[in-house]
């Protein structure tokens, strides 16, 4: 039997728990998590509505989150919903929380007239890939993620004079 949970929009008081989950996701992905400066920016950006955030609540605690924002497709001439992060505490996986997040996000995309709902998945996370495929997602092998960050971003954004 699946444990009960609630998916709802995050509140300011959820942010400390969400940040703990962001750090857990970073550990899972073998990446450095947010430092205190990043945590402060996260709270400020949440207040400024630079992103939207859903949380999963089970037994009175935050056990998962989904962070997303809207982008725009010029080819479709419609908005798109982009899922940046989806994370569920390992002990709560298999209880339908991930699927509930994706269904809620898809409903938000439909409600907002989005032409698509997109996200990325690590190439080694086969379990997640299989899960997404089971829900009707397609993998787009012909596309590659491009990223410019750190010193390369500063150099690219510098005045060329």
- Do the beta carbons of residue 56 and residue 7 sit within 8 Å? yes
**At 36, which helix (H) or strand (E)?**
helix 36-47
Establish whether 82 is a catalytic residue.
no
Q: Could you tell me which residues are beta bridge partners of residue 60?
A: none
Q: Which entry of 65, 68, 82, 132 is annotated as an active-site residue?
A: 132
Q: Could you tell me which residues are beta bridge partners of residue 80?
A: 71, 116
Distance CA 123, CA 139 (A): 11
Q: Could you tell me which residues are beta bridge partners of residue 56?
A: 7, 64
Could you list the active site residues?
Answer: 132
């Amino acid at each position: 039997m699946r444990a009960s949970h609630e998916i709802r929009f995050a509140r300011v008081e959820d942010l400390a728990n969400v940040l703990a989950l962001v750090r857990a996701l970073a550990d899972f992905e073998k990446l450095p998590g947010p430092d205190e400066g990043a945590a402060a920016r996260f709270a400020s950006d949440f207040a400024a509505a630079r992103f939207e955030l859903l949380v999963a609540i089970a037994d009175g605690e935050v056990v998962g989150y989904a962070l997303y924002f809207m982008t725009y497709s010029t080819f479709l001439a419609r908005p798109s919903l982009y899922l940046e992060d989806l994370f569920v505490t390992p002990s709560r996986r298999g209880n339908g929380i991930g699927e509930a997040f994706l269904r809620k996000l898809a409903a938000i995309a439909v409600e907002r007239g989005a032409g698509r709902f997109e996200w990325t998945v690590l190439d080694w996370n086969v379990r997640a890939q299989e899960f997404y495929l089971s829900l009707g997602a397609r993998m787009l092998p012909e596309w590659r993620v491009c990223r410019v960050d750190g010193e390369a971003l500063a150099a690219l954004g510098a005045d060329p004079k």
